């Protein structure tokens, strides 16, 4: 039998953080433990019925059984443009400024090798979504990290970047509302970002996966609302979080026409777009009155408040993020993110996501997913409270 080794590019990929986390939790479950899993990031609610019905009808139509159009259904791109105009007041050219994706992860990973060359430099947030780094490895580009600090509300401070790093940088990734911290961006921050990008010829990539999920009466700001944003960058959007369509794998990216064309070109060679019926369902979702989205956000906000109350009852004080469906929690003194994770899983049968899995600057925190209902939050915190880790 012939033996085939993985390429050096694949060997250079980072370890899949989430796969490793799931394996550890599953091992504990297999031992018979009643694990309360707060570490997951998979939406737990069903896709709204009207979207499912649209998919069913589209699937039954033989016209949708053929190959997709290479660059996506024009009607879906029009729906995305109308969505941005309606929700954010942003004007987009459906054909030149929007690309359809089989989930936003694909675009985020393929973008670096679509517009950068090996050896170019990319700036990424620390902590940040681990799969961003897969694109870095595949594109064989150099990585520089922007440390996100709680004192800055987990927004990067561009003045802290070394001059030589800024000079070399070609691309910069952002993600607000933020995974893992739950932090949100402000219009003022985005204006500084556009100015920074123009001054230094750096492209901006904003991951707006949690764009619908804002709390305390505040709707998250779109990067594309910023004057000049389309001159310097793009924004990724996904149906996974807003419409509970995580397994459907559908998303889009909007903004700078050159960057959109590069994404379309690489996808011409890698894919034949997305199953047409899924795109039809996406059109229905974007064109809806967004009532189900507002209802979902209210559920997440209630869960956040319920979890915060339960955590504070044992002396565990959260970072008060303004969006996403995560809570960013400090570890107690004497523990690392990993050792705290191991302790909670072993002694309390509670799973969280270690902060260092999202980057070096995530050390000292764990991420909690707001993806279970209140009784489980109370029980989880009661179990943790019995360990007396936060007693004063």
DSSP assignments along 138-159, one per residue? HHT-EEEEEE--GGGTT---GG
CB atoms within 10 A of CB 97: 24
CB atoms within 10 A of CB 139: 23
CA dist 243 and 292 (Å) reads: 8
CB 200 within 8 A of CB 338: no
pLDDT of residue 15: 79
Structure-token pair, residue 29: 């479950």
Contacting residues for 318 by C-beta, under 8 A, at least 6 apart: 307, 308, 311, 312, 327, 328, 329
pLDDT of residue 270: 92
pLDDT of residue 21: 83
> How do strand 98-101 and strand 251-255 relate by DSSP bridges?
antiparallel
Closest to 121 (Cα-Cα) out of 141, 138, 135: 141
- CATH 3.40.640.10 correct for 66-287: yes
Going from the first residue of the chain to its last (392 residues), give the mean pLDDT of each consecutive group of 10, the final group possibly shorter: 91 81 89 92 94 98 94 97 98 98 95 95 96 93 96 96 97 97 97 98 98 96 98 97 96 98 95 94 98 97 95 95 95 95 95 94 96 91 94 80
> How do strand 169-175 and strand 203-207 relate by DSSP bridges?
parallel
Taking the domains of the chain in order of start, what are their residue ranges? 8-46+292-385, 66-287
Angle value at C-alpha 347, between 346 and 353, nearest 5 degrees? 55
pLDDT of residue 40: 85
Closest to 276 (Cα-Cα) out of 100, 104, 105: 100
| DSSP three-state, residue 126 | strand
- Dihedral angle of Cα 133, 300, 176, 267, to the nearest 10 degrees: 50
User: Which residue bears the tokens 């260092």?
Assistant: 356
CB 44 within 8 A of CB 372: yes
pLDDT of residue 30: 92
Tell me the CATH number for domain 8-46+292-385.
3.90.1150.10
| DSSP three-state, residue 384 | helix
| DSSP three-state, residue 35 | coil
């Amino acid at each position: 039998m012939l033996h085939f080794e993985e390429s050096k590019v694949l060997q250079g990929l980072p370890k899949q953080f989430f796969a490793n986390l799931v394996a550890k939790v599953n091992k504990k479950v297999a031992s018979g433990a009643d694990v309360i899993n707060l570490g997951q990031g998979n939406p737990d609610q069903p896709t709204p019925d009207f979207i499912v019905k649209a998919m069913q009808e589209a699937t039954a139509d033989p016209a949708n059984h053929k190959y997709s159009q290479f660059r996506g259904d024009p009607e879906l791109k029009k729906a995305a443009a109308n969505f941005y105009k309606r929700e954010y007041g942003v004007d987009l050219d459906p054909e030149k400024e929007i690309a359809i994706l089989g989930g936003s992860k694909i675009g985020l990973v393929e973008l670096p090798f679509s517009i950068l060359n090996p050896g170019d430099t990319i700036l990424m947030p620390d902590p940040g979504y681990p799969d961003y780094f897969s694109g870095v490895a595949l594109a064989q580009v150099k990585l520089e990290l922007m440390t996100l600090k709680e004192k800055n509300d987990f927004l990067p401070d561009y003045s802290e970047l070394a001059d030589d790093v800024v000079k070399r940088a070609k691309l910069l990734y952002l993600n607000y509302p933020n995974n893992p911290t739950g932090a949100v961006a402000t219009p003022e921050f985005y204006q500084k970002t556009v100015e920074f990008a123009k001054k230094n010829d750096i492209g901006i990539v904003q991951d707006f996966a949690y764009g619908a999920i804002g709390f305390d009466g505040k709707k998250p700001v779109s990067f594309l609302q910023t004057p000049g944003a389309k001159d310097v960058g793009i924004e990724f959007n996904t149906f996974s979080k807003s419409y509970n369509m995580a397994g459907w794998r559908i998303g889009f990216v909007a903004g700078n026409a050159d960057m959109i064309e590069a994404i379309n070109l690489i996808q011409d060679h890698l894919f034949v777009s997305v199953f047409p019926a899924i795109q039809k369902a996406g059109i229905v979702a974007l064109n809806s009155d967004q009532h189900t989205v507002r209802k979902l956000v209210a559920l997440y906000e209630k869960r956040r408040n319920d979890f915060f109350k339960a955590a504070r009852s044992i002396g565990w004080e959260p970072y008060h993020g303004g969006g996403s469906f995560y809570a960013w929690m400090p570890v107690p003194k004497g523990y690392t993110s990993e050792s705290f994770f191991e302790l909670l899983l072993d002694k309390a049968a509670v799973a969280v996501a270690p902060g260092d899995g999202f980057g070096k600057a995530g050390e000292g925190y764990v991420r909690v997913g707001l993806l279970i209902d209140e009784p489980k939050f109370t029980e989880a915190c009661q179990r943790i409270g019995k360990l007396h880790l936060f007693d004063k």
